[in-house]
Amino acid sequence: MIPAIPDKLYFKIGEVAKMADVPPHVLRYWESEFPAIKPRRANSKQRLYKKQDVEIILQIKYLLHDRGFTIAGAKKLLKSGSTINLDEIEDKKHQGSVPDKLKSIKDELIKLQRILNSKKETN
């Protein structure tokens, strides 16, 4: 499930890590790999992410973890200017199981048809 991003100006790395369900060191790595993620630094050197950064991080996580993209592939997609609507990600997760359900229903119907055909032959 895609978490709702609170309406705040800045988020600390721990908050973003919880929202994205990844460890903070992954966020630091993604920051070095994806130039679109540009957190500000507080005087204490703490990373402060904007809402836009969090949205990009959630897109990256979706591409890498759910869609199976490589880092290079995700970089290329994001660099091309393509964005992923976070609401569509949630919808696509639910749609992914529909073909499996339909195949299961079809298999059950075929089994029932065979049973009925075998009973007709014995009568």
CATH number of the domain within which 36 lies: 1.10.1660.10
Count: domains in the chain = 2
Q: Is residue 122 part of a domain?
A: yes
* Phi, psi (degrees; rounded to nearest 5) at 83: -120, 155
pTM of the predicted model over 0.85: no
Looking at residue 20, what is its pLDDT? Answer: 92
pLDDT in tens, 74-98: 898 888 876 666 665 555 555 556 6
pLDDT, average across residues 7-26? 93
Could you tell me if 5 and 61 lie in one domain?
Answer: yes
Could you tell me if 27 and 72 lie in one domain?
Answer: yes
Domain range for 109: 95-123
Q: How far is CA 76 from CA 10, 32, 69, 82, in A?
A: 27, 15, 10, 9
pLDDT, average across residues 9-33? 94
What's the whole-number average pLDDT of the chain?
84
Could you tell me if 102 and 72 lie in one domain?
Answer: no
- Cα-only R_g, the chain: 22
Could you tell me if 47 and 66 lie in one domain?
Answer: yes
The DSSP output letter for 79 is H
Could you tell me if 14 and 58 lie in one domain?
Answer: yes
